[in-house]
Amino acid sequence: MGYRFRNVAGSLIALYFFISAIVLIKESAALMGEFLAQNIVLVVRDTTSAVFAGWITTALLHSSGAFDSIVVAFTASGAMPLSLAVASILGAELGTTVTPFLISVFGRLRGKGEHAAVFNVTLSHVIYNLFTVAIFYSGEVFFGLLTKIAQQGSYIFVRAAWLKEIPSLLDVITPWVGPFLDVIPAWAGIIIGGVTLILALGGVEKYMTEIFSMPKSWNLIRATFKKPIRAFFAGLIFTMLVPSTTVMVSLLIPLASSGVLSADYYILPYILGANIGTVFDVMVAALATGDPISMGVWLVHLSVNVIGALIFLPLLKPFSKLVKYSANKVAASPKLILFITIIFHAIPALIILLYYTHVA
């Protein structure tokens, strides 16, 4: 009982600091105003650079929820234009695949476990997000699709009078933010807020994972992968409880490595559900700003994952064949693993460096 109480209390405390960090980032960004906006646009100047910035930053943070929440706060303060915000959110979809893939790579280097099954899990995540980003990137570049979704969403939420009351309520539970910014520079507030947000989200993930990782829960997870619909709802529900796609996909790796989840199990539906489930922590961040534009950015995050699920669920069999083939090839070649690992980090970093160098 004491163990469970500790985890529940830890989750609530971590959630409080998560919300507090959003408020701190928003208020700090508002204080920096035009200076912050100019420096963001200096590096992230268009859709392409924003996608790659979202990719590499999320890969470094190992948390799409943390990155997306920061983007929401920046958008609410006016520091980041809407079109760049939605493109950054899209890039984060790729960045969140990096951590599970690296865990698979380390497992392969140790030479233990069912490598093909492990890479079947992580490559399902990687390949799906590559296809999804390619589709929506094209839609945004040629038609401004994501920006239009965000704008329409903001028009809907601007009519929600209750939304403007949320910051007032949050001011009541975070009275220390204003006085804190009176004694530190605004730029320090953004850094402290970002670090706090990452640590708080990690705390939520840690305590919620411990709550829902008991033996009975593992047995339930294993049972769900026998049918696609069960796998989908398992990914959705568990990721709503443990708000991180990275964590929920990574948790499958030990099961795959031990042979419990073979390549014949339904991994993609679980990932589709997890991607939808993870949007709820970003929703909390958007609500914390009380800004309709931020809610529009959140709606883009939700739309990308819902539409992606609608596209790929009917393509489950051909997609699974592609993943199994790729997983077998990658698992059998350490050189290929090393090449993919380097490329996955080098491409976005080089693109951002080229953009920055060109501007400078």
Top pLDDT among 110 and 281 is at 281
Token reading at 300: 């883009």
Top pLDDT among 151 and 27 is at 151
Write the CA distances from 129 to 49, 123, 272, 310, 314, integer angstroms: 18, 10, 10, 14, 16
Q: Quick one: pLDDT at residue 345?
A: 72
Most confident of the ranges 103-107, 108-112, 237-241, 331-335: 331-335
pLDDT in tens, 336-357: 888 888 887 777 777 777 766 7
d(CA 236, CA 261): 18
pLDDT in tens, 60-100: 666 676 678 788 888 887 878 888 999 999 998 888 888 78
pLDDT in tens, 149-184: 999 888 777 666 655 565 656 677 788 888 998 999
Q: pLDDT exceeding 90 applies to what percent of the chain? A: 19
Angle at 100 between CA 296 and CA 322, to 5 degrees: 90
- Helix ranges (H only) for 144-185 are 145-157, 166-173, 177-183
pLDDT in tens, 258-287: 677 776 678 899 999 989 988 887 887 788
The mean pLDDT value of the chain amounts to 80
Q: Which residues of 127-156 are buried (b: 16+ CB within 10 A; e: fewer)?
A: bbbebbbeebbebbeeeebbbebbbebbee
Mean pLDDT of 239-251: 73
Q: Quick one: pLDDT at residue 322?
A: 93
**Inter-residue contact 241 to 212 (CB < 8 Å):** yes
pLDDT band of residue 42 (cuts 50, 70, 90) is: low
Angle at 150 between CA 146 and CA 153, to 5 degrees: 135
Q: Quick one: pLDDT at residue 155?
A: 78
Count, residues in the chain: 360
pLDDT band of residue 38 (cuts 50, 70, 90) is: low
Q: Quick one: pLDDT at residue 280?
A: 80
**Inter-residue contact 321 to 102 (CB < 8 Å):** no
